[in-house]
Structure 1
Amino acid sequence: MSSSPSSSARAARVALASRLSDLRKDAGLTGRELALACGWHPSKVSRIQAAKVPVADADLRAWCAATGAGDQVADLIAASRAVESMYWEWRRQHQRGMRAAQEDGFTTLERSQRCRVYVSNVVPGFFQTAEYATALMRSITEFQGTPDDVAEAVEARVARSRFLYEGNHRFAVLVEEWVLRARIGSAETMAGQLGHLLAVMPLPSVSLGVIPMTVNRGLWPLEAFYLFDEKHVSVETLTAEVNVSRPSEVADYIRAFGELQKLAVYGVKARALITSAIDALG
């Protein structure tokens, strides 16, 4: 398994820095000469080549102009923007509120036919009730200190559930039993959320497995991740969304999902765990 979910972003940033370094060498320029041509301090060239800082579009244009590589500007800018989208801090996403990020998630689901999800923390967004989503997103907003547009964000999040009923979308979801027991909002909110899980389980588009807390684990609990088709994975950490697209890392998550599936129970046994969690609410 990869040592860190952000390794794709780091590797891509290093690859971009290497391309820029090669352009400088091919042009026969030292780092100091390139800095002089671009009007920069020499340390800026060193930081860029060491992949220590993001590279602005204007910096890429200046670099290519100084090295005679103007024909590569568009490709390098595209590569740079892709790098920055791999590791996307939540506070950056939510700097104007949470609604925009929820709408982006809507678009991703719309374009995906098969979605495999593993959650160890909360119910996945497309399964959430409005009350559960409100309680969860309220706490996220307070923790991050970002603008409060919870009502609008909840509306956008709940809208994702349409894909459970429309089109050829398929959702294979694995939930740690702890998620059923972790109270988000009031007891009534949790009861409604758990009841909603029971309601969506029979849908043809849904496969819902629950990993019991008592199972003898072959694979440890992981961070929540969403695997879209077999193209990319969105990994959710405390501070950021990490988008993984390197084939070798995507393959790791596919393998992990398969191992986690072996731990889960389905059908009657899964319903029993959900019902037990409802009963425990008193």
Structure 2
Amino acid sequence: MSTDFQQARTALGARLRELRTEAGLTVRALAAECGWAPSKISKLENGKQTATTSDLDTWASGVGRPESAPELKGRLAGLESTYRSWRRQLAGGHRAVQDALGAQHEKTTVLRGFTASVVPGIFQTPEYARSVLSRYAELHGAARDIEAGVASRIRRQEGLYAPGKRYRVLLWESALHVRICSPAVLADQLDRLMSVNGLSTVDLGIIPLTAEVRIAAGDDFWIHDDRLVIAESWHAEMWLDSAEDIALYRRVWDTLAASAVSGRSAHRIITRARAALTDSP
């Protein structure tokens, strides 16, 4: 769990406790008002559990301050805008997740990204995207509307042909070999990657496995016009907009880019990965 998220959740809990004590209610008394177990009150106040909007409505009514609900929901929205668990996001379906990312892409002129394990969504074929989303859907138990998610992800690629857009993407060479799909699908994906490498809007850098690097590969991330960073982990996305966080990720990107090759050198690495598929039994 990110430190920023936990601090925000603890701060929300402190505000909930403040409202309870101002109302002169004990933990047990508020629990009775809300129809909850006392342990839920304690968990929310101590930042051990994330409140829902319904929880906040119930709390505000329970302490006799229904007018405080919008404030509490605002705090929750701020918390979720930084830390977005996959479980919560995928409860609304894959399309909702992809549409939210698409909205950020539309606002962005220069997108800098880094991926270490798979070809990034902005370059994916539909079949490869389907394989990727399906595997992660299995992991999180969220198999609904995968096809709608694939369609939304592919629509995002219209930006590759939009004048004024710029995609500066770094890819760890290992991602070219990951068998998250069938060999045939991966072969088509590598062909697609070679074709987008020639687009005027795309600067593709590949970090060779044999390259000397100043830092090792970490989580995937995307920097949107130096105004927003979206970083991924196994359990969540972090949407970071503080100047400090953006500056850090920009330094990470610049450091990784120093070890990358581009142009014909990148094309040769992709070609080599493609040939390895043909040669494999």
Same fold (TM over 0.5): yes
Deviation of 1:187 after TM superposition, in Å, equals: 2.8
For residues 259-274 of structure 1, the aligned pairs below 5 Å read 259-274=255-270
TM-score, L = length of structure 2: 0.84
Unaligned runs of 5+ in 1: none
The DSSP-based 3-state class of the residue aligned with 2:277 is coil
Question: 1:52/1:209 Cα in 2 relative to 1: closer, same or farther (>3 Å)?
Answer: same
- Report the number of matched residues: 277
Q: Conserved in 2, the CA contact under 8 Å of 1:96 and 1:147?
A: no
Q: CA RMSD in A?
A: 2.9
Other-structure match for 1:255: 251
Worse-superposed segment, 124-133 or 92-101: 92-101
Question: 1:210/1:150 Cα in 2 relative to 1: closer, same or farther (>3 Å)?
Answer: same
Question: 1:9/1:131 Cα in 2 relative to 1: closer, same or farther (>3 Å)?
Answer: same
Deviation of 1:225 after TM superposition, in Å, equals: 1.2
Residue identity in the other structure for 1:198 = M
Deviation of 1:214 after TM superposition, in Å, equals: 0.7
**Residues of 2 paired with 1:131 and 1:43: CA distance?**
47
Deviation of 1:272 after TM superposition, in Å, equals: 1.5
Other-structure match for 2:192: 196
Deviation of 1:137 after TM superposition, in Å, equals: 2.5
Identity %: 33
Deviation of 1:221 after TM superposition, in Å, equals: 0.9
Deviation of 1:183 after TM superposition, in Å, equals: 2.8
Q: Conserved in 1, the CA contact under 8 Å of 2:87 and 2:140?
A: yes
What are the Cα deviations for residues 158-188 of structure 1, in whole angstroms up to 9, with x where unaligned? 1111011125332111100001122342333
Other-structure match for 1:99: 95
Unaligned runs of 5+ in 2: none
Match of 1:149 among 145, 157, 167: 145
**Residues of 1 paired with 2:156 and 2:38: CA distance?**
49
Match of 2:161 among 165, 179, 204: 165
Q: Conserved in 2, the CA contact under 8 Å of 1:31 and 1:42?
A: no
Deviation of 1:36 after TM superposition, in Å, equals: 7.3
Deviation of 1:266 after TM superposition, in Å, equals: 1.5
Residue identity in the other structure for 2:30 = A
Residue identity in the other structure for 2:264 = V
Match of 1:244 among 216, 223, 240: 240
